[in-house]
Amino acid sequence: MLRAIKHAFARRKGGHSPAAPTPVSAERRPASTSTPSPVRSSGSIEFIGVSFPVMWTVADFIATTASLDRVALRLRTEQYATHMRDIMRQFGSKYAPSSPEYQAFKHTSLVCASCGWLFPGSYTLSLIGAVNGYTTVVGATPGYAEFGKTGTCTKCGSEESFLIYQHYKPPSISQADVDAIRRYWRHLAQQWWSNNTSSSTPLCDACNDYVSQAKTYLIGGRLECERCTDKELVDGLNKLRRDPFYFGDMELQKARSFVVGTVG
């Protein structure tokens, strides 16, 4: 995502637009069927089972990241690109690109402040001009082009959102987190099977072998067999400690919250 942001900002400076529609990678079916809405309290929101203090300015947001692992920035959604550019500039001068703090910034999420919808990638990319009327996003969530122009949530009409930042300290990640991610993926696969009405036997999206309902996992929208899932999780603890977002932007927190029962 950060690479796309940098590219989009550079393209804006140069004033270049593609001459013809360019397809980009498709968005797969959502990994989760029930992302909980933010619950607002005095100065904070609760999202995916954890509380985030809410800041109203970029300066306060950045200052808070120095002392807290979780923080949310309330913003007018149409100003997302401006805020991301500002935060990227300040983070770049404050943290090394390989630091946990900078990694957390690279994987911030944008959530509707009213209905709690976690905006898909095509929506946030549209806000920064990485996809537009010249670009066709195959399989993208409908509405991304208009959203990029107005910043208005296509589900509820809200014009405001929360930028969600969560920083993980490597020592706080354990093998229990890897096990939780496996259980969460298995749970998502069970949900997928319960909604699957096709009479044909699905194939593993990784190896193309036929899969059975008893031994499948849903990973980032991909249905995978147990053998391929085992490969995904090889050295999983070290992968997560090096990059807590290795398996997805919110995957670690979703798995943790699923284990304690705050994500269904």
pLDDT in tens, 38-88: 544 449 999 999 999 999 999 999 999 989 999 999 999 999 999 999 999
Q: Where are the alpha helices (DSSP H) in 113-261?
A: 121-127, 144-150, 175-195, 226-232, 236-242, 251-260
Dist. CA 70–CA 166, nearest whole Å: 5
Q: ∠ at Cα 38 (33, 42), nearest 5°?
A: 165
pLDDT of 23 > 90? The answer is: no
Q: Tokens 């899932």 belong to which residue?
A: 229
pLDDT at position 132? 65
pLDDT at position 6? 53
Angstrom CA distances, 122 to 2, 126, 176, 258, stand at: 14, 6, 32, 26
- β-pair type (70-76, 160-166): antiparallel
Tokens of 63: 């200052």
pLDDT at position 192? 94
DSSP percent split of the chain into helix, strand, coil, nearest 5: 40, 15, 40
Angstrom CA distances, 178 to 49, 103, 169, stand at: 18, 19, 15
Q: Write out the E strands in the chain.
A: 39-41, 44-47, 50-55, 70-76, 109-112, 160-166, 216-219, 222-225
pLDDT in tens, 192-248: 999 987 778 899 999 999 998 999 999 988 999 999 999 999 999 999 999 999 999
Dist. CA 223–CA 205, nearest whole Å: 6
Q: For residue 67, give the amino acid letter.
A: S
pLDDT at position 235? 96
From the number of C-beta atoms within 10 Å of its C-beta (0-12, 13-18, 19+), residue 198 rates as: exposed
Q: Sheet containing 70-76: give its strands across.
A: 39-41, 44-47, 50-55, 70-76, 160-166, 109-112
- Report pTM: 0.78
pLDDT of 99 > 80? The answer is: yes
DSSP label at residue 14: H
pLDDT in tens, 149-194: 999 999 999 999 999 999 999 999 999 999 999 999 999 999 999 9
* Residues forming a β-bridge with 222: 219
Contact 160, 192 (CB under 8 A): no
Tokens of 153: 């949530």
Contacts of 167 (CB under 8 A, 6+ apart): 65, 69, 70, 100, 101, 103, 104
Tokens of 102: 């900078």
